[in-house]
A and B are shown apart, each in its own frame.
Chain A
Amino acid sequence: MPDHAILTPEEHRDLRIRTDRSDALGDAVMACITVPSEFRRVQTHYPILFQRDQTRDGFTALAMFGFEAGENLFLEGGRWDARYRPLAIDSQPFLVGRGPEGSSLRQVHIDMASPRIGTGEGMRVFDDTGRPTPFLERIADQLRALDEDYVAATAFFAALQRHDLLEPLTLDVTLEDGSKNRLVGYHVIDEDRLEALDPASVAELHAEGHLLPIFMALASLGQIGDLVARKNRRLAHG
């Protein structure tokens, strides 16, 4: 059970957060949410897929780490084998909270039930005087970016739907040991429709700042090959 609390220097003066990476610390996940403003950085390592959102009438972008639930192919012996980690996973166990009803003030919340809550070792959040550490300053920047862009993502997906640029993806992967993996229920950019867009639509997408993330999402699909290679390596090494 998550145990969310508002982060304060009074309550969390001595708190330490473990920043190593392992299954036990909650990193064994096949994907995490990503936002269009970080697609450029995410696509250097991870495929970006879109998933229809059950609660919001729209889509969510996901950075993929594996092919099945609980599988993270970037996790190797206590480290994460990539130079960049998506904001949503890198900022755990912190979350964005809102102030009192009607307030636009963002608060940093923390899940005190997270296994990342350290004892003795790990990154401190406040120093002895109660001042936020550079670690927390970075986390706060990440949370701010995530929160702003999660809202902006609604416009991005609305534009994709308006121009009918999403197509369902079904991916069958046959691994070297002959086993098959299948990714279903995801969407990607429809490349044919993108190429067929009329100049006015392209100009409109460009003006709204959607063109760059569209192409970054498209480029990210090249990383599916890397993910397959990681899976094969893992199978080969038991």
Chain B
Amino acid sequence: MTVSDMQTDGLDMDRAITSIVIVGGGTAGWLAACLIAARADRDAERPLQVTLIESPDVATIGVGEGTWPTMRRTLERIGISETEFLLACDAAFKQGSRFDGWRTGAPDDRYLHPFTTPADAAPRDLASAWSDSGLAFAEALCAQHAVCSQDLAPRQRAMPDYAGTLNYAYHLDAGKFAALLARHATERLGVRHLRDHVVGVDGAADGDITAVRTRASGRIEGDLFLDCTGHAALLIGEHYGVGTIDRGRELFNDRALAVQLPVAADSAIASQTNATAHAAGWIWDIGLPARRGIGCVYSSAHLDDDAAADTLTRYLRATAPDAPLPDFRPLRFQSRHRNRFWHRNCLAIGLSAGFLEPLEASAIVLVELSVDALLDNFPATRRTMDLHAARFNTLFRYRWDRIVEFLKLHYVLSQRDEPYWRDHRDPGSIPPRLAELLQLWADQPPSHADFPMVDEIFPAASYQYVLYGMGFPAPRRTPVRTGTRGAADMLVQQVDRHGRMLAAALPTNRAYLDALRHAMTSATMETRA
């Protein structure tokens, strides 16, 4: 037993939880630091202290370029203006995802999953209004389809920050985002920042972590430790040995080749992430004002690295014929997550908690949701912490399972014939709950009844967009009337009119972001003058 252990033996279970130590300084660490510090009550008797330890030796991964609409609420809570965020992170608006070639691979095979929920009607009425319309599901029932197809922004500059006429999220430069959060946390929110390398962990006899040992700054004590150390998982994995659950049997992708291409100053900026299927995976394409981030995701069991490079090269040649080919950056990952995320006084947030393939950009949103869950039910004393941890673990296990199922949904309905796609349709690879839902959805559309939790990670609408986008037939008529069919018939016309109205009123993404930059530059010059 070490001296430090003895000092903390006989833990005071009623001690207040006030000192939070975040280990790791990537997007997850800084986002957690900002959210906790921004929501801390500064007038509390013993206010929260947030310390973030960032190793100068470890590079961040930095390819997470897509957020969810939750990021608007997060940034507002943190206290960063939308203009500052957009400019500092070279960010653009993301209004959904477009899936090209997922169903058959034919040239006209594409569908949109927009962030805005379909027109307001009973799911069964929506499905029949759509199937009578002869249009694609999203086109018939969501005005965002028209907006995305014209590269338009979801808002006008005169609107208040974080408000839009449509639901939206962001595409961003992950490195710049982490830098902005770090500046904001240290300069405006009072987060203590230690640039040091963690070399060890001190534990108490009961198993809690009492401190982490650093190379230059000694022991850093805390009441609650957030493991934001990425794949290394220094605390939850290396120290505690909490196991992981492999999801690779359901989600096969385990490698990616990433690349960034500069774009012309006046080029259109896409309103959505474009995801183009290939023989053994898919390619992401994310438009920012100054560059496109592109990556070929694939299953190493189905495609070797050279073939993946060829696939990416063909895509780049087709979509940017004049650009010189930069080097590809290889990435390896496993779709897996911890079997527990919160153990004793250590909570894993970010890649240390787990990672699923990048489809649907679930990495950053899980950070936001984890910190929100921590703060919404904050353990005031050590005595209640284990109860909160158990609840947290149940909630997030539920969420990871739902994400796995939703990701899998994108693959199981494909008619593509390559081995990769056939393997995805193997019943043994399909989560049982998803298989059940697919049976139900032959008779009735995805609805609230399928997703009964108050805060589901994906609403029924998301399942409708993917299900019907992939060509799943509208449900058969049942002998039970909904009584609202007449109103549903008007929906498609209303959506068309709304789409035309928005298309007239909204600027292109490029025009919006250029005007924002221009307005900021001239305001700065006026201040200096």
Residues of A within 8 A of B (CB): 16, 20, 78, 119-125, 127-128, 131, 133-136
Query: In the complex, what residues of A have CB within 8 A of residue B510's CB?
Result: 120
Contact A122 B507 (CB under 8 A): yes
Contact B503 A20 (CB under 8 A): no
Out of B157, B504, B511, B512, name the residue touching A123 (CB < 8 Å).
B504
Query: In the complex, what residues of B have CB within 8 A of residue A123's CB?
Result: 504-505
Contact B150 A128 (CB under 8 A): yes
Shortest Cβ distance from B157 into chain A, in angstroms?
A: 7
Contact A127 B156 (CB under 8 A): no
B153 closest partner in A (C-beta): A121
Contact B515 A120 (CB under 8 A): yes
Query: In the complex, what residues of B have CB within 8 A of residue A136's CB?
Result: 504
Out of B150, B157, B500, B504, name the residue touching A121 (CB < 8 Å).
B157
Given A120-B515, A121-B511, A128-B150, also A135-B504 (CB < 8 A): yes
Question: Which applies to chain B's interface (DSSP): helix, strand, loop or mixed?
Answer: helix
Q: Could you give, for residues 497-513 of chain B, a 1 whenever the CB lies within 8 Å of some chain A CB and a 0 otherwise? A: 10011011101101110
Contact A134 B501 (CB under 8 A): yes
Query: In the complex, what residues of B have CB within 8 A of residue A127's CB?
Result: 500, 503-504
Query: In the complex, what residues of A have CB within 8 A of residue B503's CB?
Result: 124, 127, 133
A135 closest partner in B (C-beta): B504
Query: In the complex, what residues of B have CB within 8 A of residue A16's CB?
Result: 507
Query: In the complex, what residues of B have CB within 8 A of residue A120's CB?
Result: 507-508, 510-512, 514-515
18 sampled A-B residue pairs with Cβ under 8 A: A120-B508, A120-B511, A120-B514, A121-B156, A121-B157, A121-B507, A121-B511, A121-B515, A122-B507, A124-B505, A127-B500, A127-B503, A127-B504, A131-B500, A134-B500, A134-B504, A135-B501, A135-B504
Contact B497 A134 (CB under 8 A): yes
Interface set, chain B 250-305, CB cutoff 8 A to A: none
A123 to B510 alpha-carbon distance, docked (Å): 16
Query: In the complex, what residues of B have CB within 8 A of residue A124's CB?
Result: 503-505
Query: In the complex, what residues of A have CB within 8 A of residue B150's CB?
Result: 128
> Is B480 an interface residue, CB under 8 A from the partner?
no
B512 closest partner in A (C-beta): A121
> Is B158 an interface residue, CB under 8 A from the partner?
yes
Query: In the complex, what residues of A have CB within 8 A of residue B158's CB?
Result: 20, 78
A3 to B504 alpha-carbon distance, docked (Å): 23
A135 to B501 alpha-carbon distance, docked (Å): 7
Query: In the complex, what residues of B have CB within 8 A of residue A121's CB?
Result: 156-157, 507, 511-512, 515
Residue from A120, A122, A136 with most neighbouring chain B CB atoms (10 Å): A120
Interface set, chain B 460-513, CB cutoff 8 A to A: 497, 500-501, 503-505, 507-508, 510-512
A20 closest partner in B (C-beta): B158
Shortest Cβ distance from A112 into chain B, in angstroms?
A: 19
Query: In the complex, what residues of A have CB within 8 A of residue B504's CB?
Result: 123-125, 127, 133-136
A121 to B156 alpha-carbon distance, docked (Å): 8
Query: In the complex, what residues of A have CB within 8 A of residue B515's CB?
Result: 120-121
A128 closest partner in B (C-beta): B150
A120 to B500 alpha-carbon distance, docked (Å): 17
Shortest Cβ distance from A81 into chain B, in angstroms?
A: 15
Out of B500, B507, B508, B512, name the residue touching A133 (CB < 8 Å).
B500
Shortest Cβ distance from A40 into chain B, in angstroms?
A: 26
Shortest Cβ distance from A128 into chain B, in angstroms?
A: 7
A78 closest partner in B (C-beta): B158
B149 closest partner in A (C-beta): A128
A112 to B521 alpha-carbon distance, docked (Å): 28
Residue from A20, A125, A134 with most neighbouring chain B CB atoms (10 Å): A134
A131 to B497 alpha-carbon distance, docked (Å): 12
Query: In the complex, what residues of B have CB within 8 A of residue A119's CB?
Result: 511
Task: Give 13 A-B pairs besides A120-B507, A123-B505, A127-B500 with Cβ atoms closer than 8 angstroms.
Answer: A119-B511, A120-B508, A120-B515, A121-B156, A121-B157, A121-B515, A127-B503, A128-B150, A134-B500, A134-B504, A135-B501, A135-B504, A136-B504
Query: In the complex, what residues of B have CB within 8 A of residue A131's CB?
Result: 500
